[in-house]
Amino acid sequence: MVYFGRMSSPPVYDPYAYEIHDDPYSVYKRLRDEAPAYHNRERGFWALSRFQDIYDAMHDWQTYSSHGGVALEGSGKAPPMIIAMDPPRQVKLRRLVSSVFTPRRVAQMEPHVRALTRKHLLPLLDRGAIDFIDDFSGKLPMEVISVMLGVPESDQAKLRQWSDLLLHREPGNPSVTPAGMEAAGNLVRYFASDLHRRRQQPGDDVISGLLAAEVEGERLADDEILGFCFLLIIAGNETTTKMLGNAVYLLWKHPEQRQLLVREPRRIADAVEEVVRFDNSTQMLARVLTRDVDLHGTTMPKGDRVILLLGSGNRDERAFERADQFDVTRPAQQHLGFGFGIHVCLGASLARLEGRVALEEVLSRIPDYEIDERGMERVHSPNVRGYAHLPMRLRRS
């Protein structure tokens, strides 16, 4: 599809267009105002862009089914994951997973997350310039997730590379690249070979916990454990990596707000929420309609795919005052960044913890910095928004 940009009439939205990855928000506004139930005939999907429509769809799993996965192109041959299931199996699986992934367990991780943050940050302070993604935000979430899964440090770089390759799309092409397909296979084989070892030598890690988890006499099948590992290493790693990059970029663009957080670090938790609202690393989720839906004067037929544009809903002027303004002092308000309903993000508390701790440590040691916009490089993915490279010059006080 040719992307017609801001001057097109009617609006054209193609989630695979690199122009959209650079700036989706002007197109989102036109969708909200002109085509809130947007139909892309060439790609074969509908898109909901207003906050209330997305919120309602997230709660109505009976109509907006998750079967088939959250990516527009479907989940392919990936192992079964809870984000690609509906009740009753989704509920049972989530209960089993939640038994070893509780908010209390995440809260107890704060000292360890802070130690890992300092491990990756402190060696950078004597350097005049860094790539924030390569040198810090790409490493921290991967190590946090890897520690939870019991993945040795020596394997973390290749797991991150595989997850990056799986997300990447070529211009205008919805298909996973050949390198991405190979990477997906590598991830599945890696964790499949690990399950046998964990059965023989269980430890204090999530995989060992999942192998032992039991709710009402039911346990997880091996492919379901593989699916959860697959999900964590991609969603749990990539979305937080991009969230941290988006945060430091936004705080550079708004130095007065960065200075406020340096003076008042207690506000950093609120700043994380505003980053997730204003420029979320998860931009959209796909669903499949189980019945015809009449909305905004049109009928979306049963069986069609619908994408929920979280990034647009979080900028909806109908739901947020000054929706297009980044404001870390914004009063607490519900946003769509971590989802709602039965699929509310299981890792939300971990993402919030990592975001807060990382920004506390970065801003306390690097209160002033410069982003080299000419060297920035975006990730090209329909679902994930953020940077592959973010060059930063440090200004030590």
Q: Kindly tell me if the per-residue pLDDT of 230 is higher than 60.
A: yes
Q: Output the average pLDDT for the chain.
A: 89
- Give CA 186 to chain center in angstroms: 21
CATH architecture of 5-395: Orthogonal Bundle (1.10)
Segment 237-252 mean pLDDT? 94
- pLDDT (tens digit, 9 = 90+) per residue, 11-38? 899 999 999 999 999 999 999 999 999 9
Q: Kindly tell me if the per-residue pLDDT of 5 is higher than 50.
A: no
- pLDDT (tens digit, 9 = 90+) per residue, 151-199? 888 888 888 888 878 777 777 766 778 888 888 888 888 888 888 788 8
**pLDDT value at residue 125:** 95
- Range scoring the smallest mean pLDDT among 14-18, 295-299, 360-364: 14-18
- pLDDT (tens digit, 9 = 90+) per residue, 170-181? 777 667 788 888
Q: Is the peptide bond before 367 cis (omega within 30 degrees of 0)?
A: no
How far is the C-alpha of 335 from the C-alpha of 186, rounded, in Å?
35
Q: How far is CA 69 from CA 158, 159, 196, 297, 352, in A?
A: 25, 21, 27, 27, 24
- pLDDT (tens digit, 9 = 90+) per residue, 38-74? 999 999 999 999 999 999 999 999 999 998 888 887 7
**pLDDT value at residue 76:** 61
Q: Kindly tell me if the per-residue pLDDT of 77 is higher than 70.
A: no
Q: Kindly tell me if the per-residue pLDDT of 267 is higher than 70.
A: yes
pTM: 0.90
Q: Kindly tell me if the per-residue pLDDT of 325 is higher than 50.
A: yes
How does residue 100 score in pLDDT terms, banded at 50, 70 and 90?
Answer: low
Express as a percent the part of the chain with pLDDT over 70: 94
Show me where the domains of the chain are located.
Answer: 5-395
**pLDDT value at residue 304:** 97
Strand order in the sheet with 129-131: 129-131, 391-395, 368-371
- Give CA 43 to chain center in angstroms: 23
How far is the C-alpha of 141 from the C-alpha of 133, rounded, in Å?
11
How does residue 1 score in pLDDT terms, banded at 50, 70 and 90?
Answer: very low
How does residue 3 score in pLDDT terms, banded at 50, 70 and 90?
Answer: very low
